[in-house]
Structure 1
Amino acid sequence: MELAGLIISVFLGLALLIYSYLRRQQQFWRRNGIPVAPEPHPLFGNVSGIGRTAHTYSLLQGLYRDFKRRGLPIGGFMNFFQPAILVVDPEVSKNVLVRDFNVFHDRGIFVDTIGDPVSAGLFSLEGVQWKVMRQKLSPTFTSGKMKYMFSTVLSIAQELKAFMVENCHREDLEVKNILQRFTMDVIGNVAFGIECNTIRNPNTEFSRMGNKSFEFDTVRLFKLFVGGKYRTLAKMIGMKVVPKDVSSFFMELAKSTVYSREINGTKRNDFMSLLLEIRSEGKFLTEPNSGGEGLTMGEIAAQCLLFFNAGFETSSSTMNFCLYELAMNPDLQEKLRIEIEESIAKDNGEIIYDTVIGMDLLERVVNETLRKYPPVDNLFRVSNAQYTFPNTAYTIPAGTFLQIPVYAMHHDPQYFPEPEQFKPDRFLPEAVKSRHPYVYLPFGEGPRNCIGLRFGLMQTKIGLITLLRSFRFSPNKKTLPKLEFDPALFVLSPKTGMYLNIEPL
């Protein structure tokens, strides 16, 4: 009985300590003179339900509207039990992303280059390691290198067209799934040099692991939080943010691709070939380096997985939402089709890179799609020093996590009147000049903007051009007038799929 009583006392004591710690955390911003959000949940803070019943975009949009209504440039909230700052004023966004980049150059994502090497993609790296990797990879994403991969993307788009010709009549054809299979084939080809053929066969291991890499439930989001906040502890317990089977699959895939090319001397117009060019004197490094030339096998696998994640779901989602809006706006769809045909006719019927990138209406339609449905709904940074926001009395300590609510800004009627309406003319030159440049951030901004934006836009535009030249899209009885998003996915994605009438032209 005495032992049982002791155990109960210890348990109650620990519970009281944890509760006291959480309560103290909740008062963090009040103690530091920062305006705060409504009363948070003791454990989940102001993001209760994230990844389960609520998507990040809706939680941050609610906070954004509350802080903005109160006339605040920033506001404090609890990301689980971590004190965080939500940016409201676009001038503050500019400071964080560009002017004071030296303070906010890291994203605060858990990386373990030794225990979990595929976690060390460019998106997650910090400090000198990020800077060096960015310098190494930047030359692989120039317009010249995009032209290098253009023909490969174009050929896979023709496979998409052939599949659609055969299957467009099917009532069970789910558009987003088909577009995912297209972008998965593209990325598999240009990142790993393999013929995935998921357009025809969606049940491959590559497809399964690719989809799994994008699932962010509450547990995975919580692990990201714990890893970012308590890194030493996370490494000690061997915590892995990337699911183990996903990590193993992409590591082995990268190894087999590299060794095959080494043995056979294979040359391809793809991302893997560009990575292999970064090697140091024909040999791979054995440990992650902070400078100089070369890459480890883990770094190659990590960049390939990042390239896959950055180009697969984001581009397919953008095409998916774009086709939905064009189906809902048939006159706009026809105008865009005319522009596409006239532009290609000027090149004697050939689809070339510069023409694809230069189509004016297509550019505005894609931009408006990214405005209304930004694939990444928020940007995040962590401060590496104490910082006082200019023209305010608000000071945050080093290690503070900040989020810029991209979706909320894109749907703010102050910047985009009637934000739920689809209006590509918002991106006419005079309209763009009239608003603050930091209220439209689909690819981020500053030194850590999306390095693969050229590839993503190229892939998206090729897919749209191919489909719109051959098919007319319109709503059917299963098309929802208002879309809901899946809370378990990191990228905005329809909760119930996308179903449209697809009529061959």
Structure 2
Amino acid sequence: MDNHQKYGKIYGLFVGSKPVLCMSDPDVIKNILIKDFHCFVDHFDFTSGDPINDRSLFILKGDDWRQMRAIISPTFSSGKMRAMHPLIIDCVNRLETYLDTKLDNSYSSSSSSSSSSSSSSSTGKPVVEVELKKLMSNLTMDVIASCVFSTRIDTYSDQKGNNFMINAEYFFKPSPRFLLSIIINATVPKSIKWIRFSSFSKSVTNFFSDAIQTIISQRNSNKNVKYRDYLQLMIDAKHRPEDTTKSDKVEQNDSIFDTTQSSDPSSHVLSTNKPKMTITDTDIVSTSILFFAAGYETTATILSFLLYLLALNENCQQKLYEEVNGQTVKNETNSYDNLTKLSYLEACIAETLRLYTPVSLLGRTASEDYTIESIGITIPKGMQINLDVVSNHHNPDYYPEPDRWNPERFMPYNRDKLVPYTYMPFGLGPRNCVGMRFALMEMKTAIVYLITKYRFVKTLNTKPLTRDMMKKLSPIVNYGDLYVGIDYLTKNFNYWSSHGVNGPKPVVLFGNIWELFVKRFQLIEEDRTYTGKNPVLNVADPELIKNIMVKDFHIFVNRQDSGSVDEVLDHSLLGVRDDEWKRQRSIVSPSFTTGKLRKMMTLGDHCIESVDRVLYKVATDGNEIELKNLMGNYTMDGIASCAFATKTDTHNDPNNPFVLNANIVVSGSKWRTLLFAIAGPIMRFFNISAINPSVHNFFIDAIKEIIKQRKEDTKSDRKRYDFLQLMIDANKNVDMNDDNSSANDKLMDIDILATSFVFLLAGYETTATLLAHLVYLLAINPEAQRKLVDEIRGHCDANGHIDYETIIRLPYLDACISEALRMYSPAPQTGRVPSQDYKLETANTGITVEKGITIIIPIHALHHCPDYFPEPKQYRPERFLPENRDKIIPYTYLPFGAGPRNCVGMRFALMEAKAIVARVLIKYEFLRTANTKVPLKYVQKSMFAVPSDFTVGVQYRQTVRT
């Protein structure tokens, strides 16, 4: 029973958590695909961040699709098809040569044998058995290689050594990667683009991309040779852009499918107001790979079904033979045009496409709210629509005896009986399959040449089309196979209950991280016991935390595996483990001594001056300011100066690439966590990094260039005090000062690169967020702001200046920052992994944590526990004044972690924060205004506590103005 019979013509499904409306009503289909096409231009969003994938005609949206379609459609005109037709004939001739050889060998074998059991037909001629799918795949691969890549291959005798066949098989072979892409698209679709994840192996797409690029290069350098393949047509379109200005009217003169629909030809005109597109080599590569992806497997499958059905229906095969034999279609200059005259051949192909359509549904996305008048349902903008092709093709109301192959349905004298918009193997309307005419030409040519020379017959090994055979032949994914994965994904879900530990019930695939879809990370960490399928133990008892982070640190040296699969991140202090972490930490730590920090901070004086200029203008104009942008610019300038001795002015250059790329790093962090929690091993297997590759490459290239310049600049007498130079100097000091030092005491270039990269990533967003929260809290707590200003003024010199040594020792300033870190800790949790089984001795738990199980220490939960911090939602800096610090229970306040593996950059972050606050508050007062959000509203997509708006007022302090 199909979906139409079960649920009716319109029904709802869920893809992951997203509602999808499915329908098979012909009138609604007509409106969506043709009449109201402007509301349903786009397919589902399958963008991946990979330009080869995203520039394909199938993926493009809106005006980009319209323009690309206008460029590509003319390459499938009758004239262009006619020019490519000889290439297809040549491929079919090679198939004939292969079959002739098999038949000749069989004939010779049967003639020399006296056995009466030799295989022969009723005419006495020898019969050889062939596996159709394999045979037709060879043919369509030959066609693709010839018509797209202009490459002549021998798929019949060189299957194992032929790179085209090897990569084609990998391209379509079911794989964990393809399954993973389905899961990600259904659960966290936005992460696909962020991680640039493709459904297909990168090595395979690279093979075809490189092959196409090589051909393009060769043809650009040798323009005297004339080619007739599709690739040349695209190259010509690139060099003759004037051809692309013509409207794309879908030609209807050589296809049966226009006569089965009553569509308005004017609806096929593709118009756009967007500036004319210039086609690029990437576009050519992308469309050529799409040609291969869409035309290889599907065409081979339909040809296999058709020849199989003809073998089972001898009367139909005979009728087709007589039609073909009665027309002059072979070895004629007009053989392509004569193909369109074979009505029974068209009917046989059409009926095969109906019975075994390669595409089970057509997907569209509504670009605006759309009401289906006949049923009163309104489709909201952005909702996905599935048009159920299979249900219509197998609906007995439209096709009596739908499971029977009956070509007569599509003969000219029966076509008026077909219900319009119930038959759509290539889609309908302006976004139908652009390669439809090529596929039909290929199929018709193959059948004509084969059917006039060979007879296809049923043998003892010809099996009925069972479900198992359908799995083998059909290119459509069998979703029932997903059942196998359920046991694996849930096998750990009884782990904590079997150990006597309570926790919320996990969900398949997501464990407990599904809550990230509905809550901020900081608010749910107390309850988390599973990430994906992996058990995680939350520990909030201060005594246990002390043991884990300090007393028994030798067992808990390592953090949980981030799964970055990135060489740079894996060499950083965040990624290294065990002895390698100890080695690097011992080298890096001396860079953060008080003396070196003081020298580093002098490099950042201009950063504070830049903030002052911004605030001066705002205060002068009596305006408000958004703190997150202000402090983000400050910390980016500070890191550029103090880490890399590079001056930036992000306040006056909002499109500064440093800031733009740093913002991308943190914007997709929630999806990164979800993705690696659900499928971490798979992501690592496919070498998918946790950081956007373009962002990663930008920062790595910048750091590499600075390191290179420093090493080459050996003659400079200028002394540098930035963090990067301290790392370089650390290696020199090992060689110069310690006779017992070895290579193990040095940082490799990759270590320096990695540590500098993490310094940038870890120090930018976290410090900016801390400062934004701190100034916001001072603005809505004027009494605390007054006390802090009084403290700062009391330590200024006669000129109103205050030095770094004084700033870092101001107790109320330290208390204000500490309380801001308690309320809005940049790191909501920290994790450790035991290197051996570990029994939780204190708290009388009786629990033994097995080796390798992640222990999470919920920092945010501890900071907001009223048992440790009364009235935790109130901003009370007094908690952290010297006279009150002994009231704080040890190991309940952990903004930078604790123990040997605490944040190595803690002192730099605090110095950076104290410097800007002390110097700014002397001159400016921050105020609550009508636009100041109380309480703050947070960005749901961020892993960090990032509010959507930090707006406060700014004015001069009275004493400054006078």
| TM-score with structure 1 setting the length | 0.88
Counterpart of 1:66? none
Distance 1:480 1:96, change over 3 A: same
Distance 1:5 1:389, change over 3 A: farther
Alpha carbons 1:383, 1:400 under 8 Å: kept: yes
- Distance in 1, Cα, partners of 2:684 & 2:785: 51
Distance 1:349 1:37, change over 3 A: same
Cα distance per residue 1:206-228 (max 9 Å; x no partner): 1111111223444311344368x
1:173 alignment partner, SS class: strand
Letter of the 1:38 counterpart: P
1:472 alignment partner, SS class: strand
Counterpart of 1:147? 598
More deviation, 273-282/333-342: 273-282
Counterpart of 1:501? 953
Distance 1:396 1:146, change over 3 A: same
Cα distance per residue 1:91-146 (max 9 Å; x no partner): 11111111111121111233668x53244321222111111110110000111111
CA shift, 1:172, in A, is: 6.2
1:84 alignment partner, SS class: strand
More deviation, 462-471/151-160: 151-160
1:486 equivalenced with 2:939 (yes/no): yes
More deviation, 295-304/201-210: 295-304
CA shift, 1:45, in A, is: 1.2
CA shift, 1:349, in A, is: 3.7
- Distance in 2, Cα, partners of 1:170 & 1:107: 48
1:444 equivalenced with 2:897 (yes/no): yes
- Distance in 2, Cα, partners of 1:370 & 1:462: 16
Distance 1:225 1:116, change over 3 A: farther
Alpha carbons 2:832, 2:856 under 8 Å: kept: yes
Letter of the 1:380 counterpart: G
Alpha carbons 1:185, 1:199 under 8 Å: kept: no
Q: Which has the higher contact order (CA 8 A, sep 6+)?
A: 1
- Distance in 2, Cα, partners of 1:148 & 1:424: 29
More deviation, 168-177/186-195: 168-177
Counterpart of 1:435? 888
- Distance in 2, Cα, partners of 1:477 & 1:88: 39
Cα distance per residue 1:348-372 (max 9 Å; x no partner): 6432221011111111111111111
Letter of the 1:58 counterpart: L
- Distance in 2, Cα, partners of 1:192 & 1:423: 37
Distance 1:369 1:135, change over 3 A: same
1:40 to 502, 506, 522: 506
- Distance in 2, Cα, partners of 1:166 & 1:206: 24
Counterpart of 1:128? 579
Cα distance per residue 1:365-415 (max 9 Å; x no partner): 111111111111111111221111114311121110111111111111111
Alpha carbons 1:153, 1:462 under 8 Å: kept: no
1:60 equivalenced with 2:525 (yes/no): yes
Distance 1:36 1:6, change over 3 A: farther
Distance 1:154 1:447, change over 3 A: same
1:177 equivalenced with 2:642 (yes/no): no
More deviation, 35-44/138-147: 35-44
1:453 to 877, 882, 906: 906
Cα distance per residue 1:303-348 (max 9 Å; x no partner): 11211122211211111111111111112211111111111237x6
CA shift, 1:150, in A, is: 2.2
CA shift, 1:77, in A, is: 1.3
CA shift, 1:49, in A, is: 4.0
Distance 1:167 1:260, change over 3 A: farther
Letter of the 1:41 counterpart: V
1:248 to 684, 694, 697: 697
1:164 equivalenced with 2:623 (yes/no): no
Alpha carbons 1:365, 1:424 under 8 Å: kept: yes
More deviation, 245-254/162-171: 162-171
1:29 equivalenced with 2:496 (yes/no): yes
- Distance in 2, Cα, partners of 1:373 & 1:471: 24
Letter of the 1:370 counterpart: L
Letter of the 2:775 counterpart: L
Alignment of 1:288-367 (within 5 A): 292-345=744-797, 349-367=800-818
Alpha carbons 2:549, 2:899 under 8 Å: kept: yes
CA shift, 1:247, in A, is: 1.5
1:80 to 516, 532, 535: 532
CA shift, 1:463, in A, is: 1.1
Counterpart of 2:660? 208
Distance 1:282 1:30, change over 3 A: closer
Distance 1:218 1:311, change over 3 A: closer
Alpha carbons 1:280, 1:295 under 8 Å: kept: no
CA shift, 1:293, in A, is: 3.2
Alpha carbons 1:176, 1:317 under 8 Å: kept: yes
Cα distance per residue 1:423-445 (max 9 Å; x no partner): 11111334321232111001100
Alpha carbons 2:643, 2:724 under 8 Å: kept: yes
Larger radius of gyration: 2
Gapped regions of structure 2 (runs ≥ 5): 1-464, 736-741, 958-962
Alpha carbons 2:618, 2:624 under 8 Å: kept: no
Letter of the 2:694 counterpart: D
Alignment of 1:74-113 (within 5 A): 77-110=529-562
**What is the root-mean-square deviation in Å for CA atoms of aligned residues?**
2.5
CA shift, 1:469, in A, is: 1.0
CA shift, 1:195, in A, is: 1.1
Alpha carbons 1:163, 1:200 under 8 Å: kept: no
| TM-score with structure 2 setting the length | 0.48
- Distance in 2, Cα, partners of 1:171 & 1:4: 72
CA shift, 1:13, in A, is: 6.5
Gapped regions of structure 1 (runs ≥ 5): 64-75, 284-289
- Distance in 1, Cα, partners of 2:477 & 2:760: 48
Letter of the 1:181 counterpart: N
Q: In percent, how many aligned pairs have the same letter?
A: 29
Counterpart of 1:413? 866
Counterpart of 1:258? 707
Counterpart of 1:70? none
Alpha carbons 1:174, 1:499 under 8 Å: kept: yes
Alpha carbons 1:267, 1:273 under 8 Å: kept: no
2:942 alignment partner, SS class: coil
More deviation, 319-328/264-273: 264-273
CA shift, 1:488, in A, is: 2.6
Alpha carbons 1:251, 1:298 under 8 Å: kept: no
- Distance in 2, Cα, partners of 1:440 & 1:484: 24
- Distance in 2, Cα, partners of 1:35 & 1:250: 43
Cα distance per residue 1:58-105 (max 9 Å; x no partner): 1114x2xxxxxxxxxxxx711122110011211111111111111211
1:268 equivalenced with 2:733 (yes/no): no
